[in-house]
Each structure stands twice: as C-alpha cells, then as structure tokens.
Amino acid sequence: MKRHHAVVRVTHWVNVVALTIMVGSGLRIFNAYPAFARKGETFCCYPFAQKPIPASLTFGGWLAGARNWHFAMMWVLVVNGLVYLGFIYLHGEWRDLVPRRGILRDSWEMVKFYLFVRKDHPHQGKNNALQRLTYFAMPIVGIAAVVTGIAIWKPMQLSGLTNALGGYVWARYFHFWAMLVLVVLSVAHIFMVFTVDPYSIPAMITGRYRESWSPEARNARPLIHLLPKHDRTPRV
Amino acid sequence: MSESLRKQAGRRDLEPERPLPASRFPLPASGHFAERAGIDRRKFLLAAGGAAGSLFLAACDSFGPKKAKPILQFAERKNESLERVLYRHSSMNVPRASAGTTGGAFPSYFVSPQVPVWDESVRGAWRLEVAGLVKTPMKLSLDDLSSLPRTGYRLDHFCVEGWTAVATRQGVRLSDLARLVGAQPQAKYVDFQSFDDDYHESWDIESAMHPQTLVVYAQDGRYLNAAYGAPARIYSPVKLGYKNTKYLTRILFLPERNGGYWSDQGYEWYGGV
C-alpha cells in the first residue's frame, strides 16, 4: 500500500517548483515598487515600505524577466492545483485533509507534545492534527493567491473582482499576504519534514512508507528520536 | 554535499573494504538505506541542508535557464490571446472614490537623458501626424486638437512596476480621431511614436479604439507640462503605463504590429490591464 498516490506525488513536486518560481519572481516584481500606497498617498498597513526584498531571494533577474516567469508559471500552478484538487476529491484523499471534529483540541495536544508538556505522541492516522490543518489551509490560501493575483493582473477588464477585494491597492496587499502565508506554511512544513519525519520524503517520491517508523511510533519531536526505534520484539 | 559524504550516503559508492560505522540501533540487513549506510542525524542534516542550499543558491537572483525562453514566449502569446478574449470595449475604469488625485506626486518617466522638450526653433512647429492606413492623413497642431470634441476622465494609471496613481486626463478620443482621418478596416494595429529618443509602442486596434483611450493634451485641468509628455500623449487605462507613449509625434495605423521600446526588450507587447 503506497502512502501517497502517484498523482499526489507528482503534483506535490510540480507544486514545489511552481510555487518556488512564483514566489521568487513575485518578490522580484514586488521589488520594482516595494510599497503598497498609491503615489502621493500613504498606506496604513505595511511598515516596510520602500525596503526591497533581498535580491538573493528573488528570481527572474529583472522586472520583465520576473513578469515573464510569473505569467508563465501561473498556469503550471493553476493546472497542477486543479489536477490535485480534482484528484483528491474524486479519489477520497480529501478525507485525510478536511478538519475533523475536535481538530483544535487535537492540535493543542500536538503543540503540548512538541513543547514537552505532554509525554506521549497523540494518536494519529496518516496526518496529525497540525498537518491536517496545514494541508487543508494550503490549497485554500493557494486559491486566494490566484484570485488576488487575477485581480491585480486585470484590474481594468475584471474590475468587478478587483473592486470586490477593495480595489487594486488592497488586492495587491492581499496577494502579498497570501504569498507570505504560503511561504510560512511551506517553511514550517519543510522544517518539520526534516526534523520530525524525514522518512516521509521517500514516501513522497516512491510512495513507500513504514508505519513502524512514523513519528508516532518513534515518539518524535523536532530533532528528537529522529532515528527509527530498534525493533525489540523477538524474531521467530 | 562533500565527496566523502556523498560516498557514505549513496549505498553503491561505499567502498567494500571500509567497515560500516556502527549504528546506535543495530538493525537487520533489511533496514532502511540510511542505517545500512550509517547515516546519523548530523550527517543526514548536513547532507540534506547542503543539497537544499546549493539548489537554492543556484536559483538566486537568476534570470532562469535560457532554454526556457521559447516556453516563456509561448506563454506570453497564449496570455495575449486570453487577454484579448477578456477585453471589453464596455469595461470602463472608475478610480475608487477614496483615491485622491495624485497631482504633482505623479511620477514622470522618459528615456532621453533630459526631459524631452520640443524645440520649435530647431524642429519647427509641433504637429501630430496621423497617417498610415487612413483615407486622409492629417497633421494636427495643438490648437487643432483642442478644437476637436474634448473628452475627459478621471483615470487610474497602472504602472508595470506595481504602483498606481490617479489623474484627470483630457483630450480627444482616439476613436474620434480615427473617424476623422478615415482609418481603414485593414488597420489592425496602431503605433504611437514620439520625440523621446526612439520611444514608441504599438497597440492592437481594439485597445486603441476603447472609449477611454485618449490623445491627451491636458492633465488635471492644465495643458501637459514637459515632464508629463507635452504637447500630447496617448493615455488609456486599458494598457500598462509603458504602452502609453508620451511626447507624441505620429500615430500610424498599421496592418501589422510594430513592437515597441519596452516590448522589444522583454516586456509584454500586449501590456493589457
């Protein structure tokens, strides 16, 4: 039994590439005007106006290059996202992702476990409560990024959408926030994969995964009990 | 990843003479390759961090692989087709009520080393030439333009850099001008040329005939000053700022597109908003 279906594995890695390029090129575009206010006005809600993002975090080389990458890669992101969402809807994987009753209580138990307040790993199925919340939020924030992106791509021809988001300035601000949330969730995800369950990396490539090495079986916290437990049951 | 690490990480690269480092948790031979190769936590993190880091650095501030250029150009063509489907003559730009008029804070861009100014003593009287695929080519003075039916809108300006600004633009609808000179149906494109060096940008005829596409000679109720494109410029909210040629000299109706100053350098030719 594979842990992840091939469609999920492929769309995951396509998404890694697409999202990385979208964020990098988006930050390069942002650096052409690293602020949100209309010219001659001030904007309430961004304290770092006129401070560009470090160039090392950007992609595309210059504004036109970044725009060309952004407007090409957006199709990969959207089509890949639709394939993924369509697949998990039809194939049933959505059941592993939608929050269940008590998700907040279960998340709190996970937080307590990671903070050493609780000794034993809470019982979990495929994903723990925090993963469930994260993986459920990612597509939603992704959709928000796409919608706000369309609103600032076509603020004239699709002005209804742009106005519904509060106009171009706010739509651009929300687009930035959607990117920020996606980056924070992704960085947290990558950190937890490497420090808690690195065995899920091959599982996302080949699909193979051992339940006996799961974080629950190892009682694993970040960087603690990283190696699999020795199987102490006598062999017959 | 260092060579020695690579050797230890890849099972096939292990030297047979060398004993495997002892694992803290001796496992049967069917164990995961990580244990068989003797990768401990530190090595694993180093290797993983190194691999991720080098990948990341390779992408930093990069123009991306050159081979991607045809793909990017393909995407630009497809995007243009979609944008032309989305285009509506009836969609009108109305700045938000909360948006103040930008006034003197409106940026002024040009490509010449200095603000381009039409020097009548050298170049003679300024005229706007309207020519190409038209029945009656014309050369219009500023007075001629001012005497044509005047249209004004308070409009958003969408810059490719991401900022916006608001100004009232007054001038002549390009569609009125096209009727006046008798633009022919074969004219599918329009080129807007200037005396700001060789700055020009060509447009699709649909965008050019939008009711908010104006040959502007006044901004915020005053004749244009040199910084904002005097004596006349094209302005339309259907296009990004760089498509709106300032310091106009010639409007050419053409059967083919004719590129543009920024579009030839890599910015989207369509530049629609």
Pick the residue of A13, A39, A172, A189 with the most B CBs within 10 A to test the interface with B by mutation.
A39
B25/A contact by beta carbon, under 8 A = yes
- To the nearest 5 percent, what fractions of chain B are helix, strand and coil? 30, 20, 45
How many pairs of residues across A and B have Cβ atoms under 8 Å apart?
152
Total domain count, chain B = 2
Tell me whether residues A60 and B266 touch, CB distance under 8 A: no
Neighboring chain B residues of A158 at a CB cutoff of 8 Å: 86
Residue A230: band (very low, low, confident or very high) from pLDDT cuts 50, 70, 90 = low
CATH number at residue B257: 3.90.420.10
B88 and B55, same domain (yes or no): no
Q: Rounded distance, CA A88 to CA A95, Å?
A: 9
Selection from B242, B244, B96 nearest residue A67 by Cα: B242
Asked if A23 and A54 touch (Cβ cutoff 8 Å), the reply is no
pLDDT reported for residue A66: 97
B106 and B160, same domain (yes or no): yes
Q: What are phi and psi of A171, to 5 degrees?
A: -60, -40
- What is the least distance, in Å, from the CA of A50 to any CA of chain B? 12
Question: Is B66 or B78 the better-scoring residue by pLDDT?
Answer: B78
pLDDT reported for residue B1: 43
| Inside any domain, residue B272 | no
B178 and B122, same domain (yes or no): yes
Q: What is the pLDDT of residues B78-103, one digit of tens each?
A: 999 999 999 999 999 999 999 999 99
- pLDDT exceeds cutoff 80 at A138: yes
Q: Rounded distance, CA A75 to CA A79, Å?
A: 6
Domains of chain A, by residue range, sit at: 6-218
Helical spans, DSSP H, in chain B: 3-9, 33-36, 41-59, 69-86, 120-123, 142-147, 174-181, 205-208
Domain boundary pick from B20, B40, B59: B59
CA B176-B181-B184 angle, to 5 degrees, is 100
Token pair 């209804």 is at which residue?
A160
B97 and B16, same domain (yes or no): no
B37 and B127, same domain (yes or no): no
Q: Residue range B255-266: average pLDDT?
A: 97
Of A65, A223, A235, the CB nearest to B266: A65
B35/A contact by beta carbon, under 8 A = yes
Q: Residue range B251-271: average pLDDT?
A: 97
- pLDDT exceeds cutoff 80 at A234: no
Q: Rounded distance, CA B74 to CA B70, Å?
A: 6
| Inside any domain, residue B212 | yes
Asked if B258 and B189 touch (Cβ cutoff 8 Å), the reply is yes
Q: Rounded distance, CA A138 to CA A132, Å?
A: 10
B184 and B256, same domain (yes or no): yes
Selection from B254, B215, B9 nearest residue B133 by Cα: B254
B81/A contact by beta carbon, under 8 A = no
Question: Is B62 or A181 the better-scoring residue by pLDDT?
Answer: A181
Tokens of A178: 């959607």
B177 and B42, same domain (yes or no): no
| Inside any domain, residue B109 | yes
pLDDT reported for residue A173: 98
Tokens of A106: 């279960």
pLDDT reported for residue B15: 45
pLDDT reported for residue B62: 83
- pLDDT exceeds cutoff 70 at B24: no
B24 and B158, same domain (yes or no): no
Neighboring chain B residues of A169 at a CB cutoff of 8 Å: 164
Architecture of the domain whose range is A6-218: Up-down Bundle (1.20)
Q: What is the pLDDT of residues A12-61, one digit of tens each?
A: 999 999 999 999 999 999 999 999 999 999 999 999 999 999 999 999 99
A155/B contact by beta carbon, under 8 A = yes
Asked if B248 and B228 touch (Cβ cutoff 8 Å), the reply is no
Q: What is the pLDDT of residues A174-209, one digit of tens each?
A: 999 999 999 999 999 999 999 999 999 999 999 999
Asked if B218 and B174 touch (Cβ cutoff 8 Å), the reply is no
A44/B contact by beta carbon, under 8 A = no
Q: Collapse the DSSP code of B191 into the 3-class scheme (helix H, G, I; strand E, B; otherwise coil) and give the result.
A: strand
Q: What is the pLDDT of residues B202-234, one digit of tens each?
A: 999 999 999 999 999 999 999 999 999 999 999
Tell me whether residues A159 and B44 touch, CB distance under 8 A: no
pLDDT reported for residue B6: 45
- pLDDT exceeds cutoff 50 at A137: yes
B83 and B206, same domain (yes or no): yes
Residue A1: band (very low, low, confident or very high) from pLDDT cuts 50, 70, 90 = confident
A217/B contact by beta carbon, under 8 A = no
B11 and B76, same domain (yes or no): no
- What is the least distance, in Å, from the CA of A104 to any CA of chain B? 31
Asked if B87 and B153 touch (Cβ cutoff 8 Å), the reply is no
DSSP state of B67: G
Beta bridge partners of B223: B218
Closest chain A residue by Cα to residue B25:
A230
User: What number is the ipTM of this complex?
Assistant: 0.90
Neighboring chain A residues of B74 at a CB cutoff of 8 Å: 72
- What is the least distance, in Å, from the CA of B209 to any CA of chain A? 15
pTM, two decimals, is 0.86
| Inside any domain, residue B46 | yes
Peptide bond into B231 cis (omega under 30): yes
DSSP codes of every residue in A35-83: --SPTTS--TT-TTTT-PPPGGG-BSSSHHHHHHHHHHHHHHHHHHHHH
**Which domain covers residue B196, as residue numbers?**
68-265
Tokens of A114: 């990671």
Peptide bond into A52 cis (omega under 30): no
pLDDT reported for residue A229: 74
Tokens of A81: 């996202």
Tell me whether residues A157 and B87 touch, CB distance under 8 A: yes
Residue A75: band (very low, low, confident or very high) from pLDDT cuts 50, 70, 90 = very high
B76 and B50, same domain (yes or no): no
B266/A contact by beta carbon, under 8 A = yes
| Inside any domain, residue B22 | yes
| Inside any domain, residue B270 | no
| Inside any domain, residue B271 | no
Q: Which helix (H) or strand (E) holds B165?
A: strand B164-173
pLDDT reported for residue B51: 66
A140/B contact by beta carbon, under 8 A = no
Q: Residue range B49-53: average pLDDT?
A: 65
